[in-house]
């Protein structure tokens, strides 16, 4: 049983999206952002990669009973391609799409994407340098993709990124470049250096003039939803999904993919962010993309983002029902509870992995909020456990046990 007592004071803010379009199929205007065909293309490509396997979908019956809902399904992205997070699906796939766009044979024809994916054109790919800014996981995915396909790679990290996450990127052959300031400062520095040197940005966030590759990043993320649909009981579709915020790429991709499959019967989408980095929440309140200044870093390192992805925002503005913020105080108890359940399977969940669960837990502790969101014993909740112990030292300091012990 998790200890969630005395954690509600000042721990949550909720905003309902009055502009959300309910009861309709996926809008045609959003199809150009992330259509079903783009998602299917990503699923076909990624499922052919060496080491691909669907990640587990765990039922958290202990926690569901404690929180007063019918079922909680936890998509565990910790095992994804051995990289520890869902980001493996997006960054590496975008590197592949970039190389397929840039590389040519001696006659000027584009090279086969399938052959590039197998590393058969690594010599040509070595002339291409890919760069990105990261809090850890996206950079690890880009570095892995660059190594797999043969490209050179530089990863920009800000001062708040842990040394353990930097070492994981370096182990994949990428050069880490440290930047003063926060995540958004590292994004700007990476973009400037790429422009100065003829390098290629592979970002998971979109902004004016940079839309194509982030679209493919989100298409890569949609693989998770295809797996979830196959893994969930056919007669028990999710009624709610609580999704991490960050720049919005994950939330936008999952919202779109669920809409593609379920249409007007899609689950209620609640986007959850740290209260120290609430760019999507503030954007929802204002009704337009808003940048926020990050004064203090959140424990949820992968969600420490001050500026929204414009592509993701367009999807979420139309399809996310609610936006929430939660405090860091929820994170450690949830991580420890997942690692030491009463009867559920133990789960290794990193700091950013439990943000969706934190939103659900916070909502369930308030009767008024639970009623607003329609949470009761008939609710079936989907959450995306976006990462495992991507920094084992930090994980052990929080949970009190090494991740490998829990996984065993």
User: What does the DSSP assignment read for 342-376?
Assistant: SSSPP----TTTTHHHHHHHHHHT-HHHHHHHT-S
Distance CA 207, CA 328 (A): 28
The one catalytic residue in 135, 184, 204, 391 is: 135
Helices 212-231 and 310-319, axial angle in degrees (round to 10): 40
Which two tokens mark 342? 């009463």
Neighbouring C-beta atoms of residue 3, cutoff 10 Å: 10
The one catalytic residue in 76, 87, 321, 391 is: 87
Distance CA 254, CA 268 (A): 12
Check if 167 is active-site.
no
Distance CA 317, CA 266 (A): 15
What's the pLDDT at 100?
A: 97
Domains of the chain (ranges; CATH) run: 12-85+214-407 (3.40.50.1100), 91-203 (3.40.50.1100)
- DSSP string spanning 326-349? E-GGGHHHHHHHHHS-SSSPP---
Q: What is the mean pLDDT of each run of 10 residues along the chain (408 residues)?
A: 55 90 90 97 97 97 96 97 95 98 93 95 96 89 97 93 90 95 87 96 91 96 98 94 96 98 95 97 96 92 91 97 96 96 93 97 94 97 96 94 93
Of 367, 64, 78, 395, give the one whose Cα is nearest residue 242.
64
Check if 235 is active-site.
no
Of 215, 245, 183, 210, give the one whose Cα is nearest residue 90.
215
End-to-end C-alpha distance for the chain, whole angstroms: 21
pTM: 0.94
Strand 129-134: give its sheet, edge to edge.
175-179, 152-158, 129-134, 200-201
What's the pLDDT at 160?
A: 82
What's the pLDDT at 5?
A: 57
């Amino acid at each position: 049983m998790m200890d969630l007592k005395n954690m509600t004071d000042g721990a949550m803010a909720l905003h309902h999206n009055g502009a959300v379009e309910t009861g309709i199929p996926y809008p045609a205007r959003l199809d150009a952002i992330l259509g079903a065909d783009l998602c299917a293309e990503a699923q076909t490509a990624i499922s052919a990669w060496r080491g691909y396997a669907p990640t587990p979908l765990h039922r958290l019956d202990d926690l569901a009973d404690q929180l007063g809902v019918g079922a909680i399904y936890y998509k565990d992205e910790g095992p994804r391609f051995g990289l520890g997070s869902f980001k493996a699906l997006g960054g590496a796939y975008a590197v592949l799409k970039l190389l397929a766009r840039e590389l040519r044979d001696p006659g000027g024809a584009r090279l086969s994407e399938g052959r590039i994916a197998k590393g058969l054109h690594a010599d040509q790919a070595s002339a291409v340098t890919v760069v990105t800014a990261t809090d850890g996981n996206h950079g690890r995915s880009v570095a892995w993709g660059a190594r797999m396909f043969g490209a050179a790679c530089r990863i920009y990290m800000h001062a708040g990124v842990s040394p353990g996450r930097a070492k994981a990127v370096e182990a994949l052959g990428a050069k880490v470049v440290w930047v003063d300031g926060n995540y958004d400062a590292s994004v700007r520095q990476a973009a400037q250096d790429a422009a100065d040197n003829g390098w290629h940005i592979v970002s998971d966030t979109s902004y004016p003039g940079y839309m194509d590759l982030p679209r493919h990043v989100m298409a890569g993320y949609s693989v998770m939803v295809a797996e979830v649909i196959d893994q969930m009981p056919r007669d028990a579709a999710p009624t709610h999904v609580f999704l991490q915020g960050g720049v919005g790429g994950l939330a936008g991709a999952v919202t779109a993919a669920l809409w593609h499959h379920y249409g007007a019967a899609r689950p209620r989408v609640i986007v959850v962010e740290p209260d120290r980095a609430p760019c999507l929440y503030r954007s929802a309140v204002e009704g337009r993309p808003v940048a926020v200044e990050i004064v203090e870093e959140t424990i949820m390192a992968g969600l420490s983002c001050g500026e929204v992805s414009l592509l993701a925002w367009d999807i979420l503005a139309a399809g996310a029902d609610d936006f929430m913020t939660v405090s860091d105080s929820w994170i450690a108890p949830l991580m420890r509870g997942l690692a030491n359940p009463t009867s559920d399977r133990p789960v290794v969940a990193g700091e950013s992995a439990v943000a969706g669960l934190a939103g659900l837990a916070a909502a369930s502790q308030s009767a008024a909020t639970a009623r607003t969101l329609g949470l009761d014993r008939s609710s079936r909740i989907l959450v995306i456990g976006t990462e495992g112990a991507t920094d084992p030292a930090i994980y052990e300091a929080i949970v009190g046990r090494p991740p490998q012990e829990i996984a065993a």
